[in-house]
Structure 1
Amino acid sequence: MADDGVLYRVYERRLARELASVPLPQHLGVIVDGNRRWAKASGASTEEGHRQGAAKIAEFLTWCEELSIPLVTVWMLSHDNLRRPAEELEALFGIITDTLEELTDAGYEVRLTGNDDVLPAEVRERIRRRQETAQVTRELAVNLAIGYGGREEIVVAVQELVREMGQRGLDAEQIADGITIEAIGEHLYTRGQPDPDLIIRTSGEQRLSGFLLWQSVHSEFWFCETYWPGFRRVDFLRALRDFCKRERRFGA
């Protein structure tokens, strides 16, 4: 009888073959949930859980590259997470910076998506310097959602839009007419990018929690029980297979 490892590899290869000739997501969103629960279950510290989760991001991106997925948005720190203990946040800020530097060193185009004002000034400066000197050598672009909240993003977009129209001397009625779906879209953090086709969330939670709230109107969702640090390539391939089997009618 074949052992579990052999069966696993056979199944993984079969899934990869199934995906070789079908359209795949052009923008993939990932809610990397479960780092703390993975740490608790493993007898590790919370910080180690976050570090293992960050390491999984780099591995995950290589899986996306293998399948020529061009854009990935990873939610690393939500607006709500800012209520966590100061010690945990300090460690998270360092892990976020280390992750951004690792990804830019690897040649990815990395864009911060969210409110980076929540980061300490020295962390923002370190990130700014790294982005200014980064050399993009890979096809895959990465959005790191930091201090991100979907409602906050929409509010900021509308505020920017209203200010711009006010500076042009438009009156209240003209401003109201100018607030359109297209105009708001041009002021979102993901402006100029396609909306996500598929959003994956790990750890068993089956909700978006505000992730890409505006952009996910036509997204497909895939939830799994696995904590993010334990997420495997076979889980990823299963998510893509399920996505490809769905009929996307976009309301038509």
Structure 2
Amino acid sequence: MSLFDKIDKNRVPTHIAIIMDGNGRWAKARGLERGEGHKEGVNAVRRVVEAATKASVRNLTLYAFSTENWNRPSKEVSGLMDLMVYAISRETADLKKNGVSIRSIGDRNRLPEYARTALEECIRETAGGTRLTLILALSYSAKWELSTAARQIASDTIKGVIQIEDIDEETLGNYLTTRGLPDPDLLIRSGGEQRISNFLLWQCAYAEFYFTDTFWPDFDEETLYEAIFEYQKRERRYGKISEQIERENNNSSH
């Protein structure tokens, strides 16, 4: 029996964020070049997008390339950019057919022009998708995002667009690249590491964390459903106590 059958379909996370880690180690363990791990990782993305859609997840954010990744050897960075363009071009038609809309977060200006063009074309082509929003974090880091938001808020304050006393959590949220999206309910990291690596620091303030030793190229439908199943075992209190949550759940069920 698939874990999909055990999932409570009424309590599926609205937004899942994934740090896709372990491509290089997966390849090394098989005596392959790191690039082969990245290629196999693209297949894992396809599996997970299909599984998330099947489970009625509404938003899925994938940490595809961090601002720190620009520091990797130029050959690997170039290979990743080429692979991204290839994958986007290959998958656009199916994404569109399956009701998946693409969105990106991150410093898109740092991407090579050919990669940026392919990404923007995919975003336009899939804009009508309503089943799942797939957010690709490319050239992204949370510290970059927060410092950019701070500059924009400062600039708009000087211009009189906003007043200092009006700046609150909602204001900052509206200046982030994820504005309009719900915060992640569940953050998954593959590959065995237990850190969030500068990813959605503001947005994951109340996310449940799930770490798995599975390398990303081996990540499949069951791995995702296992994470969702584990998430559903947890009590999400948001600062309240268990008894309050229980009363609220009882009231909402009547």
TM-score by length of structure 1 reads 0.88
Moved more, 40-49 or 57-66: 40-49
Matched, 1:197 2:185: yes
Task: Judge conservation of contact 1:103–1:110 (CA < 8 Å) in 2.
Answer: no
The CA deviation string for residues 37-77 of structure 1, in whole angstroms up to 9 with x for no partner, is 00111222211111111121011110011111110000000
Cα deviation 1:133-160 (Å, max 9, x = unaligned):
4463451110000011111111111211
**1:87-124, CA deviations, whole angstroms, 9 ceiling, x for partnerless residues?**
00001111222233344322121111111122112321
The 1:169–1:141 alpha-carbon spacing in structure 2 relative to 1, beyond 3 Å, is closer
Aligned partner (choices 119, 123, 131) of residue 131 of structure 1: 123
Contact 1:39 1:48 in 2 (8 A): yes
Does the CA contact (< 8 Å) of 1:22 and 1:244 recur in 2? no
Which 10-residue stretch deviates more, 21-30 or 119-128? 119-128
The answer to whether structure 1 residue 118 and structure 2 residue 110 are counterparts is: yes
For 1:166, the aligned partner's letter is: I
* Residues 234-243 or 125-134, more deviating: 125-134
| Structure-to-structure mapping, 1:149-188, within 5 angstroms | 149-168=141-160, 174-175=163-164, 177-188=165-176
Q: Which runs of 5+ in 2 are unaligned?
A: 241-254
User: What root-mean-square deviation, in Å, do the aligned CA atoms of Structure 1 and Structure 2 show?
Assistant: 1.7
From 222, 227, 234, give the equivalent of 2:222.
Answer: 234
2: CA distance between counterparts of 1:16 and 1:123? 35
Match of 1:43 among 31, 38, 58: 31
Equivalent residue for 2:46, pick from 46, 58, 75: 58
Q: Secondary structure at the match of 1:216?
A: coil
Tell me the distance in 2 between the aligned counterparts of 1:101 and 1:165.
Answer: 41
Residues in 1 aligned to 2:127 and 2:135: alpha-carbon distance in whole angstroms: 16
Matched residue type, 1:128: E
Asked if 1:29 is matched to 2:21, the reply is no
CA contact 1:161–1:187 (8 Å) conserved in 2: yes
How far did residue 127 of structure 1 move? 2.4
- How many pairs does the alignment contain? 236
Partner of 1:91: 79
- Number of the residue aligned with 1:250: 238
Letter in 2 for 1:147: S
Give the counterpart letter for 2:189 in structure 1: R
Kindly tell me: are residues 135 and 162 of structure 1, through their superposed partners in 2, closer, same or farther at Cα, counting changes over 3 Å? closer
Corresponding residue of 1:142? 134
Corresponding residue SS for 2:204 = helix
Question: Are 1:76 and 2:64 matched, yes or no?
Answer: yes
Aligned-residue identity in percent:
33
1:232: how far off? 2.6
Which position in structure 1 is the counterpart of 2:208? 220
The runs of 5 or more residues in structure 1 that have no matched partner are 1-9
